[in-house]
Amino acid sequence: MSQSEGSARGRILEVAGALFSERGFDGVSVSDIATASGNSTGLVYYHFKDKSTLYESVVREGLHLLEATAVRTLGTPGRPIDRIRSFVREYMALLEGQPALMRLLIRSVTDVSTPPPGHVLMRSATTIERLQSVIDEGIAAGEFRVTDAHLAATALFALVNTLITARVLETPLGQSSGGSVEERAEFMTDLFLRGVAACS
Partner DNA sequence: AAAACTACTGACTGAACGTTCAGTCAGTAG
Partner DNA sequence: CTACTGACTGAACGTTCAGTCAGTAGTTTT
Asked if 35 is part of the footprint of DNA (rule: CB under 7 A), the reply reads no
Q: From the CB of 117, what's the least distance to DNA, in Å?
A: 16
Name the residue nearer to its own copies (CB basis): 140 or 151. 151
Instruction: Phi first, then psi: give them for residue 30, nearest 5 degrees.
Output: -60, -35
Of 63, 33, 160, the closest CA to residue 41 belongs to: 33
Asked if 36 is part of the footprint of DNA (rule: CB under 7 A), the reply reads no
- Binders of its own copies in range 21-60 (CB under 8 A): 22-24, 26-27
Q: From the CB of 72, what's the least distance to its own copies, in Å?
A: 24
Q: Which string of DSSP letters, residue by residue, matches 7-70?
A: HHHHHHHHHHHHHHHHH-TTTS-HHHHHHHTT--HHHHHHHSSSHHHHHHHHHHHHHHHHHHHH
Q: From the CB of 7, what's the least distance to its own copies, in Å?
A: 30
Among 4, 77, 113, 142, binds its own copies (CB under 8 A): 113
Asked if 10 is part of the footprint of its own copies (rule: CB under 8 A), the reply reads no
Asked if 89 is part of the footprint of DNA (rule: CB under 7 A), the reply reads no
Q: Give the span between the Cα atoms of 134 and 155, in whole angstroms.
A: 14
Among 40, 76, 126, 176, binds DNA (CB under 7 A): 40
**Residues forming a β-bridge with 197:** 144
Q: Give the span between the Cα atoms of 43 and 6, in whole angstroms.
A: 12
Other C-beta atoms lying within 10 Å of the C-beta of residue 192: 18
Question: Which residues sit at the interface with its own copies, rule CB under 8 A?
Answer: 22-24, 26-27, 103, 106-107, 109-113, 118, 121-122, 125, 146-148, 150-152, 154-155, 157-159, 161-163, 166, 169-170, 172-173, 175, 177-179, 184, 187-188, 190-196, 199
